[in-house]
Every structure is written in C-alpha cells, then in structure tokens.
Amino acid sequence: MGDLLANAAERGVRYLRGLGDRRVSPTAAAVSRLRDLGGPLPNEPTDPEAVLALLDDLGSPATVASAGGRYFGFVVGGALPVTVAANWLAGAWDQNAGLTVSSPIASALEEIALGWLVDVLALPQGTAGAFVTGATMANFTALAAARHAVLARAGWDVEAQGLFGAPPIIVVVGDHVHVSLLKALTLLGLGRDRVVRVPVDGEGRMRADALPAFTAPAILCLQAGNVNSGAFDPAREICPIARRAGAWIHVDGAFGLWAAAAPSRAHLTEDVDLADSWALDAHKWLNVPYDSGIAFVRDGAALTASMAASAAYLVQQTGREPHLHTPEMSRRARAVEVWAALRHLGRSGLADLVERTCCYAGRFAEGLRRAGYRVLNDVVLNQVLVSFGNSEATRRVIEAVQADGTCWAGGTLWRNEAAMRLSVSSWATTERDIDRSLAAILRAAAQAGR
C-alpha cells in the first residue's frame, strides 16, 4: 500500500510541476484516447499500480489545467498546495463527516473553520453554517432555512406539511440572479418562473429604486459578486426596505463574499451582514480542491429545523451535529481543506490572495484597453468583460484563444453583446501568467481581425 500511495503522490507532484509548460486545454487527441479507459468491465482484478498508471497516462493529459496559473474560465480557483496535501491526508482518513461520533476530527474542524469564516467575513457572531458541495447547494440549504422561517412566521410547518396549501411566498431576485439560485428555488418547490425580478443597472446590480412593494411571507435574494461583472447589489439601500417588508434576506456571495476579507475591497460587501443567510464557495476564491461550499444562516434554529432528521441508530451528541445542518447525511470532510487553507493563509494571506487576483484582473483590463479593446464592466473585483469590436469578432477571438492553449477564457452575453470573460481566481496566477496570457489574447484578436 505504501508504494502505491507514494507512487500516486509522485505522479500528482509531476502533474502539478508540468502545468506551467503545457497547454491549458487538453488536445483533441488526448481527449479521444479516454475511450481506452472503457471497454467491457474486466472479469478479473487488475493490479492497483497498473490501474493508477492507466489513470495517469490517459487521464492526466485529458485534464484541463485549471490548477495552473493561466485558467480564467467561469470562476474557478486553483488549489493551494497545503489544501491538496490536506485533501490527500483526509482521503487516507476516509471519514464520514455526517456525525460527530463517526468523525470527531471532521466535526471539530467544521466548528473551528466556521468560527474563523464568520470572523474574517464579518458575518454576525453566532451565525450557523453547513459544509456542502458548492454555492448551488449553499443557496439551496440557506433557502431551505428561509422557507422554514418565513412559513413558520405565517403559522405553517413546511417540513411537516410540505407546500400544498401553504401561504404563498414572494421571492424577489435581481434580473441578473445566478442560475444556481433559480435552480435552488426549483428544488425547494418555490418555482423559477414565479419570482419577482427587479431591474438592474448597467453593471448588473439590483436597482433599489425599482424594488416593488411586497409583503411577508417573502424572501429577498441579493447577490454579492455578479458572475460576469463582479458587481454587488446595494445591500445598504435594499436591506432596510426588505426588513421593513418582513422578508428573509439571502445573499448569494459565491465568490464575492470573499471581498470582505480584503481591506481594499471590503467596502463592496458593506451591510451584507444585515442579511439572514449567505451562500459561499470555498472551491472558488479560497482555493481548496473541488468540491466545497458553505451555507451560513444567522438563525441556527431555522437551519436545523429545515434539515432535521432523526433515527434511533443516529447517535445525537450534545454539541453541534454536522448532519443536522446539511441536506446530506453521509459526506466527505470538506472542512479539512477549508481549515488548512485558513490556518495556512491567516488573515493577511487571505487578504493578499483576494487583493492580488483583483489587481491582476485590473492588469488584464488595462492591457486590453491600451490595445484598443472595449472593457465592458467596471472592474471592481476579479472579473473582466471585454469586447473585440462586435459579437462575431469577439466569438472568433474566444475560439482562437481556446485553440491556442496558452490560456483559457470563456464567453458570455453582456447587455445583448458577446463578451470574453476573464476571471482571475487562483493563487497560482503570477504577473508573468497575466502578461503571457494577455499577449496570447492580443495575438488571437489581431489574427481574428484580419
């Protein structure tokens, strides 16, 4: 066993060391060789070393090098080396983090990491939390607590009775609501199409002056960090209005909430602490391995009421029971890497990670503007949107950049116009990576313009 695991570690290290020199997207040939991983299920066992070799030889070249410094697609963080190491150790532990009795270490790390996160993100002291797969499930979990609370106030027990015959809940979202939040609403029976959509301004921020009148039971969903522009809904103006209406306020802060940990960007998150719940990703800006997100709920009782489950065999200890906070019962110990990242970075390291990546986004924007291209958003965070003239030209540049392989950037529609999205979210990105990637993008733009 020792040799096998050492071999895996050696292969992993070799893979990570090779990322700087390889193309970011895999070649078509590498992807087509993946079919050799299939075929009929073997009748007899295969030697573990051979299994590992096959996985590395065929699998590694077919990965996307998002763990390296030149991947700017979606909002994908890298994984800090300490979190990869912690992940490997936790893999060896193979803990079931659902119950304290099945993993005291996972349970302890959840409590410690939650306390640190509440502190560094300036959320209300005593806020409860749940370790889930990502912001989609964090939105789901927090909104389940919201659904419980607003219906309980209306005299309805949604966990016992379901939504049949329940008082209708008004759900208010910004027009640029992230699709994952709508997905969470559908899973909760709150419906994607019955939401009240509030118009947004040119950066995608909910307009406080366009907020309709509404009454409880209601849930108002703010966004801290628009997936395209990085913009923040104005919590300062909207929270008091929502509060007066008796609404539960939820903040989808998948990546933007991390701005609270960086002194130069913390103003963007002003007054988000007035909310009742927050969704956060750790696999994005905290740079822990996939998958990892956290739901925070100010009123822990609302969270545990929405996630309650009991059976005689499930040992209930006196402290915080992890599975009473999450949709899942059995799950991996995600807090291990979150704890390791925070313990390693400390307050100053986390601030530096956020600030550095924001500065690199600014460097991208500056270089693109200097070359004569239109940056479409106000680059307040780590997101840059750029047009290369018109939608057709922009799509051609995106295609050329992806084919070139020096870096990877995706596309989006921004105010009915195609745009290239650049999201700088990884500890591994250096100034050199930005300059090298910028040169590749400008080269592709020049070629596409010919």
Q: Which of 301, 331, 329, 302 is nearest to 316 (CA)?
A: 329
Q: Which of 204, 192, 331 is nearest to 256 (CA)?
A: 204
We find the least distance from the C-beta atom of residue 55 to ligand PLP, in angstroms, to be 25
| Dihedral sign computed on CA atoms, order 443, 445, 448, 450 | negative
Q: Which H/E stretch holds residue 226?
A: none
99 in helix, strand or coil? coil
Closest residue to bound ligand PLP by CB: 134
Q: CB count, 10 Å around CB of 375? A: 18
Interface with ligand PLP includes 75 (CB under 6 A)? yes
Question: Residue 39 — left, alpha, or beta (φ > 0 → left; ψ -120 to 50 → alpha)?
Answer: left
- Binding segment (CB under 6 A) for ligand PLP, from list 111-119, 133-141, 154-162, 320-328: 133-141
Interface with ligand PLP includes 134 (CB under 6 A)? yes
Bond before 61 cis per omega within 30 degrees:
no
C-alpha–C-alpha distance, residues 334 and 282, integer Å: 9
From the list 77, 129, 204, 225, which residue makes contact with ligand PLP (rule: CB under 6 A)? 225
We find the least distance from the C-beta atom of residue 139 to ligand PLP, in angstroms, to be 6
- Binding segment (CB under 6 A) for ligand PLP, from list 196-204, 250-258, 308-316, 396-404: 250-258
We find the least distance from the C-beta atom of residue 14 to ligand PLP, in angstroms, to be 28
Interface with ligand PLP includes 327 (CB under 6 A)? no
**Cα 273 from chain centroid?**
19
From the list 95, 127, 136, 425, which residue makes contact with ligand PLP (rule: CB under 6 A)? 136
Buried b (16+ CB within 10 A) or exposed e, 267-284: ebbeebbbbbbbbbbbbb
- Binding segment (CB under 6 A) for ligand PLP, from list 147-155, 193-201, 222-230, 396-404: 222-230
- Binding segment (CB under 6 A) for ligand PLP, from list 60-68, 117-125, 130-138, 304-312: 130-138
Residue 59 is given by DSSP the state I
Interface with ligand PLP includes 182 (CB under 6 A)? no
From the list 78, 129, 230, 293, which residue makes contact with ligand PLP (rule: CB under 6 A)? 293
- Binding segment (CB under 6 A) for ligand PLP, from list 45-53, 158-166, 247-255, 267-275: 247-255
Interface with ligand PLP includes 176 (CB under 6 A)? no
C-alpha–C-alpha distance, residues 129 and 119, integer Å: 13
Interface with ligand PLP includes 195 (CB under 6 A)? no
From the list 195, 251, 254, 401, which residue makes contact with ligand PLP (rule: CB under 6 A)? 254
Nearer to ligand PLP, 136 or 357 (CB): 136
We find the least distance from the C-beta atom of residue 290 to ligand PLP, in angstroms, to be 9
Q: What is the dihedral of CA 308, 311, 317, 321, to 10 degrees?
A: -30
Residues near ligand PLP, by CB under 6 A = 74-75, 134-136, 178, 180, 223, 225, 227, 252, 254-255, 281, 293
